[in-house]
Amino acid sequence: MAGLRSKAAEARAAWLAERDRAARETHQQQLLSWQAACERAQAAAAEAQAAAATAAVSVQGPTSSAAAGDVAGADGDDDGRSVDELKEQGNMHLRGKQYAEAEECYRRALRRDPHNPFVTLNMALLLIDMRRWAEAETFADQVLKVGLRGRWLQASMYVQQAPVQASAPCHA
């Protein structure tokens, strides 16, 4: 009789452990799904806000973008490139591993729009590639503070990656 009870207790314990594991997996999937839905909603809101801003600029004319500092000469540069053009050029340099050129483009874009989370996030990625961990962490933290437009998960990953990489040994 005691052997039967111990087998029943073992079977119950195994069943409870499996039920708990399944419940944890379901909860984790629901949490990830919720987080993804939040990111999609934030991105949609940002797109709608950007579309509204674009519509307002087209109605008001070029004076509103001059006030925003997104025209040539606003930061002393006379090349006439917008923040988005500088960001895209920086991205091109980053893909080509031309780090100094990418950094210059991102810094010029940030002088024109210091609160642009996309340029700030790209700057963090660049600095991680350059193994400049402390600066990368600072830029990733800025992204978390200024308005993420659906990029909070990516920025928080960079914030976490910088200290981990800083403590990792460098391989020459």
CB atoms within 10 A of CB 127: 23
Q: Where are the domains of the chain?
A: 1-61, 71-172
Q: Which residues contact 120 (CB under 8 A, 6 or more apart)?
A: 110, 139, 142, 143, 146
Per-residue pLDDT band for 57 (boundaries 50, 70, 90) equals low
Q: First CA to last CA across the chain, in angstroms?
A: 67
pLDDT at position 125: 86
Fold of the 71-172 domain: 1.25.40
pLDDT at position 120: 87
Q: Which two tokens stand for residue 170?
A: 């460098």
Of 76, 83, 75, residue with least CA distance to 115:
83
Per-residue pLDDT band for 146 (boundaries 50, 70, 90) equals low
CB atoms within 10 A of CB 12: 10
- Most confident of the following: 30-34, 42-46, 110-114, 159-163: 110-114
Q: Which of 55-59, 131-135, 157-161, 166-170 has the lowest mean pLDDT?
A: 166-170
Residue 142 has pLDDT above 70, yes or no: yes
